[in-house]
Chains A and B, each alone.
Chain A
């Protein structure tokens, strides 16, 4: 059942893969894309500003489009960003982060002021020409003000920041809206090659089929996925062992109850 659903969505996703422009390491010029600032200041880093070209379908896509690598909480439905570029490493990335140490999401107009994003990154669609900000901490806005748009002459430089898969400047990035399968993995292991993912018939785009509203929107260039069938780590030995153990205990309990009945009966 689940497997079939995955295949169906995978096919849909493959059809939707569309090209997108590469990221640049500065604020976007005018409406050429969404400017993304990630504030690592409270984690002892800088505040890199980059441009996600084109019209990313949502905040996460913009983050990726700008060359950052978000990591989602492993058990939290609805893409919760717990790390960006693997930081902070001490967050277990299981469920939502604590309220005093999380990545908060901000929006602004160029040169304007930050407003708190009360919609999650995967649900918010930043318009080209606006600024997205991510700040780590207890919900304070990024420490730098939203930059003005850069002049078109600003050089396009390939972004190769982060330990994880980043889109190559020259190659077209396969962009598939949908499952976040690969994202948790990216921090632990080398990410699968985007091209391979694009070629794979596994890639899924749940969003495209799931939300009728989303179909009208341009395809999302957000989460790089490499969907797999629902048996990712081979034979689930642990699960089998647990089931056997539970069955053992339950049958022992049933036997005990039966014995008691017999004793009471006599």
Chain B
């Protein structure tokens, strides 16, 4: 695990997107296993630091702050709703809201009433955990080019990948054409409101979208998309079935792993089954697809290291959680200061290593630099 002693700063390049995703998902798994606000705060700071150190300057790289804001919003919402409906009598009262008497059948729900420190903190703890998950996903999005991530899908999933890419391309065009048609509607000063207006906008937009799609389909067809390679229909079906069930199992497994209260069968066993199934599907499917990738992202030592950091972080946290859950879930009743347990803290701090282990991204300023120097010479 220890890097080579002769390790020198690697040349700037884009890290394999899957490595970033592995790292981010590892940290997300770790975050999902604790409600300790101290651990989560450190984790978010770690994620933020890595993003700041290793993001490029593409538009999506600026998205991280948006995810942070979304996280804060989640926390705020949880606190507000908890204060409004989760009123509880016990704990240290902060202030009292006017309480609303509900009919007998809804007696279990309290609207308004006393708001206690414990209750607010419970909401904050839960919200922090969700916010941390959001931040992890945001970090992956900021660090890994989403389109390249799709490109590095296994060949058998190529169709899904290109469908997503096309959708990503068409979506802004659709928005654009809605705006254009709405603007054009003003020219006609059409009085139409409501349904009629909707139709007046929808018709040209849909026609536009349809003709665009047809043009795109024609272009893709004439550029060799979907060239048959003599694969029998049956094999293709088997592949699809394998991959789909495998992916379903994978999702189920991930859910089980992230949600501690899920039945044990849903966790690791489902994940393993999913991996095996989709692996088999991809292997069979991969053989029939004859297609190559332009400038494929390499998977080198840095990728192993970054992905490894995520895996280590998640693994240690899982072990620590099963060993002593109280460390990861500080008590609110009674209200105590949360501890900062050492082992989970170390696990989270492993997550900051990619800030140095990953190569620097190639940036536009750097791209321009040689030209500038050439011009100066």
Contact = CB atoms under 8 A, between A and B. Distances in A.
Nearest to B86: A77
A79 B273 CA distance: 40
Interface of B: 35, 38-39, 41-42, 45-46, 48-49, 52-53, 82, 86-96, 99, 101, 107-108, 113-114, 116-119, 122, 125, 261, 325-326, 329-341, 352, 365
A49 to B, nearest CB: 26
A77 B38 contact: no
Nearest to B117: A2
A264 B93 CA distance: 51
A207 B90 contact: yes
B41 A246 contact: yes
Contacts of A249: 42, 45-46, 48-49, 352
Contacts of A246: 41-42, 45
Given A118-B108, A231-B337, A75 B92 contact: no
A18 interface: no
A180 B331 CA distance: 12
Contacts, number: 173
A210 B96 contact: yes
Contacts of A183: 333
Contact of B88 (A9, A78, A177, A241): A78
Contact of A75 (B48, B52, B107, B333): B333
A206 B114 CA distance: 8
Given A9-B92, A77-B86, A230 B117 contact: yes
Nearest to B115: A210
A216 interface: no
B35 A232 contact: no
A78 B86 contact: yes
Contacts of A228: 334
15 contacts: A74-B333, A75-B332, A76-B332, A77-B122, A92-B326, A98-B261, A119-B108, A179-B91, A181-B333, A181-B335, A206-B89, A207-B90, A227-B92, A239-B340, A256-B49
Interface in A220-266: 223, 227-228, 230-233, 236-239, 241-243, 245-246, 249-250, 252-253, 256-257, 263-264
B336 A257 contact: no
Q: For chain A, which range describes its interface: under 10, 10 to 19, 20 to 34, or 35 or more residues?
A: 35 or more
Interface in A67-99: 72-79, 92, 94-95, 98
A256 B53 contact: yes
Interface in A183-239: 183-185, 204, 206-207, 209-214, 223, 227-228, 230-233, 236-239
A79 B219 CA distance: 64
Nearest to A234: B337
B340 A241 contact: yes
Contacts of B53: 253, 256
A77 B49 contact: no
B346 to A, nearest CB: 12
A2 B92 contact: yes
Contacts of B39: 242
A108 interface: no
